[in-house]
Amino acid sequence: TERPTRELIFASAAMKAAEQSLAEKRAPDLFRKAENAFWRAKRFYLGKDYENAKAAALETRDLAEKAELSAELQSSSSSDWFR
């Protein structure tokens, strides 16, 4: 099985984007799930369980992107630029 390096890089980038959008405060449940999936991906990778590492990295990316979007939507709905 091939190392899921690319998937982990994308998962890490998605987590950073979620952090920058303040998802930890604005979408805490999604952010926490993404964070947990990211730690699982890292543990699987270090244990050379690359299949599960890839799955957890893909889950991380999906959840982090959802958390970022949710945070951005909450931010924009509370701003005045829609008026």
Within 13 Å of residue 46, how many CA atoms lie on the same side as its CB?
6
- Each residue's pLDDT tens digit in the chain (83 positions)? 799 999 999 999 999 999 999 999 999 999 999 999 999 999 999 999 999 999 999 999 999 999 999 999 988 876 555 54
Residue listed under structure tokens 């805490």: 28
pLDDT at 33: 98
pLDDT at 77: 72
| DSSP structural state of residue 80 | S
Yes or no: say if 29 and 7 are a contact pair by the CB < 8 Å rule: no
Whole-prediction pTM value? 0.90
Non-local CB neighbours of 65 within 8 Å, separated by 6+ positions: 14, 17, 18
pLDDT at 76: 80
pLDDT at 34: 98
